[in-house]
Amino acid sequence: MSTLETSAAAPASLSTSDTPASRDAGKPPVATGTCRMFETPLLEFFSRIHPATPFLFWVPVLVYLVCGALRTGELHPASLFGLVIAGALLWSLTEYLMHRFVFHAIGPRGWQRRFYFVAHGVHHDFPADKDRLVMPLGVSIPLGLAFWVIFRTLLGPVVVTPMFVGFGAGYLAYDGIHYAVHHFRLTSRVGRWLKRWHMVHHHTGENARWGVTSPLWDWVFGTMGQSRAVRD
């Protein structure tokens, strides 16, 4: 198994890349805004992803599924649309719960700290790393298959499709918004609000504002945090 080259306990203020080359040369780490996560080159390669990749893969899948659901006629279009919205709402809850209780869980054991760093800690240490702002396909595809199986088991073969389409659309909204708030200077009122909302989560030290696409579940569960001005 490959080992991490960056400690899971790396401070959030770290903004350099400590690579074997820089260590071997006896030079200080280079301030690149990224880091090498894995010693194995293949794992390191697949830990990075172009931000368009999830859309290029998942949009055709979701379009195919919704067209198939419309073609079968098993659901009235209004019912299908309502289930798509329900799926998107379910994604927003899943996003909140995973971000709060999975991605920010740091246990006492070494493997737990490594999992935190690989899954999410690296993003908080290097929030401007544009190659690690969206979920790699090696993660999103297995998760998507797992959620499809769960939905089909619980909801049946008819309802699963529109629910999954809404869930997938919500996920793509998450990836797109997350990339935009970190990488673009947003000028619209909504864009600036979303950016300020997420930056409070990153830069004030508050355990709050776990939702990225929506503040709904932070409001429901009382994790809105304090209103603080954060510069764009």
CB-based contact 6:37 (threshold 8 Å)? yes
CA atoms within 13 A on the CB side of 26: 0
Ranges of the chain with pLDDT below 70: 1-32, 205, 227-232
Q: Quick one: tokens of 175?
A: 């990836």
- In a domain, residue 148? The reply is yes
Q: Which residue has the tokens 């194995």?
A: 40
CA distance 137 to 74: 31
Closest by CA position to 134, among listed 181, 191, 89, 175: 175
Closest by CA position to 73, among listed 168, 158, 178: 158
- In a domain, residue 204? The reply is no
Q: Give this prediction's pTM.
A: 0.81
Cα radius of gyration rounded to whole Å, the chain: 19
Compute how many other C-beta atoms are within 10 angstroms of the C-beta atom of residue 141.
15
- In a domain, residue 6? The reply is no
Compute how many other C-beta atoms are within 10 angstroms of the C-beta atom of residue 200.
19
Could you read off the pLDDT of 16-72 as tens digits, one per residue? 344 333 333 333 333 347 888 888 899 899 889 999 999 999 999 999 999 999 999
- In a domain, residue 16? The reply is no
CA distance 212 to 162: 23
Q: Quick one: tokens of 177?
A: 């918004």
Burial of 65 (0-12, 13-18, 19+ CB in 10 A): middle
Note down the domain range covering 87: 51-185
pLDDT of amino acid 227 = 60
Q: Quick one: tokens of 159?
A: 């309802």
pLDDT of amino acid 228 = 53
- In a domain, residue 25? The reply is no
Number of domains present in the structure of the chain: 1
Q: Which residue has the tokens 């899948």?
A: 61
pLDDT of amino acid 102 = 93
- In a domain, residue 166? The reply is yes
- In a domain, residue 122? The reply is yes
- For 30, the 3-state DSSP assignment is strand
pLDDT of amino acid 27 = 34
Compute how many other C-beta atoms are within 10 angstroms of the C-beta atom of residue 64.
11
pLDDT of amino acid 34 = 82
